[in-house]
């Protein structure tokens, strides 16, 4: 289970090689998401290029980098949310388990129900109760459940999102009637309710106050043993607090985002292999 630190003692490698460390870095649980040579565009703008990396299962991986580096784009490609934007497209390999997400036979709807997503601004459905919000995903998939099972599902996921105690008496209140931090945890519970193997979080705390942020960071720790978590964040302290692995992305002079470095979080932060990573971490830009 322990990852040796011998890699950090080797000499400088090129950025490309750093990105293909997956085999050495994978935890004993294996790889949750494998990305191979992923490119993505918004219309004619080439947003990310040649991204290859493996997200280890059962851990939290942070994706960091300055604005415009393509970190959100990368993560949104994992569940094919990227292409929802008009004019956007992607090409490459994304494999969740055995499923080829971008296979011509793959249905994006199915892919998205295998992966959960939490967005930057909490977006619970205000016309639905807390209860109905959580159960919205399973309802979509036509899961037929008895009242008892549904109640259990709601409670279980609200507990996983560390929200149960605060809302157990308010389950039938509107989803919009909660505070910002509670709303975001509701969104987490909602995303977890379909039992995804991967949870994607796109700067989930950037609209929240520090206490709400703290609560969410706490629950990520617990959660990662059951669900692989990929979190995009512009806050390096947050990345070092919550993640075991970190991917650093950067847009080159051509405004195309690329993966620069990927490794264990403590390694990336204390002993980055790439000069650019070091520059970002020490605050010289971004």
Partner 1 sequence: MTRGFDRYFAVGVTALAMLVPLTLTGIALLIFIDAWPSLTHFGLSYFTTTVWDPVHFIFGAAAYLYGTIVTTLVAVVIATPIALGASIYLTEFAPRRIRGPVSYVIELLAYIPSIVYGLWAIFVMVPIMRANIEPALQGSLGRLPLVGQLFSGTPVGLDLLSGGVVLAIMILPILTAISREVLLAVPPTQREAMIGLGATRWEAVSRAVLPYARPGIIGGVVLGVARAFGETMAVTMVVGNSSRDITGSLFVPGYTMASAIANQFVEADSELYFSAIVEVALMLLFVALVVNTIARYLIRRSIADRPAGAVV
Partner 2 sequence: MATQAATLAGAIPARHRIIARRRIAERVIVGLLALATLASIAILVTILSYVIIQGIPAINLEFFTQRPKPFGEVGGGVQPALVGTLVLAAVAGAIAIPVGIAAAIFVVEYRSGRFATPVRFAAELIAGLPSIVVGVFVWAFLVRGLIGHFAALAGAVALAVIMVPIVARTVEEVLKLVPNSLREAALALGAPRWKVILRIVVPTARAGIITASVLALARAAGETAPLLLTALGNDFFSTDLLRPIGALPLQIYRYAISPYDDWHTKAWGTSLVLVLVIGIVALLLRVVARERVR
Q: Please report, as ranges, the residues that interact with partner 2 according to CB under 8 A.
A: 96-100, 103, 105-107, 109-110, 114, 141-142, 195-197
Verify binding: residue 110, partner 1, rule CB under 8 A. Answer: yes
Chosen from partner 1, partner 2, none, partner binding at 52 (C-beta under 5 to 8 Å by type): none
- For residue 257, which of 25, 38, 13 has the smallest C-alpha distance? 38
Interaction partner, residue 27 (partner 2, partner 1, none; CB < 5-8 Å by kind): none
For residues 98 and 169, which CB has a smaller minimum distance to partner 2 in the complex? 98
Residue whose C-alpha is closest to residue 264's, from 281, 285, 229, 240: 240
| Shortest CB 142 distance to partner 2, Å | 5
CA dist., res. 1 & res. 264, Å (int): 13
* Nearer residue to partner 2 within complex by CB, 143 or 214: 143
In the complex, the smallest distance separating the C-beta of residue 143 from partner 1, rounded to whole angstroms, is 12
| C-alpha span between 157 and 71 (Å, rounded) | 27
CA distance 57 to 97: 10
Q: Return d(Cα 90, Cα 80) in angstroms, integer.
A: 9
**Cα–Cα distance between 2 and 10 in angstroms, integer?**
18
By CB under 8 A, what part of segment 171-190 binds partner 1? Answer: 187, 190
**Which residues here bind partner 1, judged by CB under 8 A?**
79, 81, 84, 86, 109-114, 116-117, 119, 121, 123-128, 136-137, 140-141, 187, 190-191, 194
């Amino acid at each position: 289970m322990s990852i040796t630190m011998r890699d950090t003692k080797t000499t400088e490698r090129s950025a490309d090689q750093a990105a293909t460390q997956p085999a050495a870095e994978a935890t004993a649980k294996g790889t949750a998401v494998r990305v191979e040579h992923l490119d993505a565009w918004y219309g004619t703008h080439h947003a990310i290029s040649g991204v290859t990396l493996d997200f280890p299962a059962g851990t939290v991986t942070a994706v960091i980098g300055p604005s415009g580096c393509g970190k959100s784009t990368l993560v949104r490609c994992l569940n094919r949310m990227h292409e929802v934007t008009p004019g956007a497209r992607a090409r490459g390999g994304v494999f969740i388990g055995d499923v080829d997400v971008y296979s011509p036979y793959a249905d994006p709807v199915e892919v998205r129900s295998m992966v959960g997503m939490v967005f930057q601004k909490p977006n619970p459905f205000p016309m639905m109760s807390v209860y109905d919000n959580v159960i919205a995903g399973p309802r979509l998939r036509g899961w037929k459940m008895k009242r008892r099972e549904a109640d259990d599902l709601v409670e279980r996921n609200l507990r996983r999102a560390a929200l149960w105690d605060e809302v157990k008496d308010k389950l039938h209140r509107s989803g919009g009637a909660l505070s910002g931090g509670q709303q975001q945890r509701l969104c987490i519970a909602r995303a977890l309710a379909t039992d995804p193997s991967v949870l994607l979080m796109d700067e989930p705390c950037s609209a929240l106050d520090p206490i709400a942020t703290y609560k969410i960071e706490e629950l990520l720790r617990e959660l990662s043993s059951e669900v692989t978590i990929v979190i995009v964040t512009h806050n390096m302290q947050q990345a070092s607090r919550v993640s075991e692995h970190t991917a650093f992305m950067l847009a080159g002079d051509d405004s195309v985002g690329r993966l620069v470095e990927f490794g264990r979080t403590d390694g990336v932060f204390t002993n980055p292999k790439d000069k650019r990573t070091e520059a970002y971490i020490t605050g010289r830009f971004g």
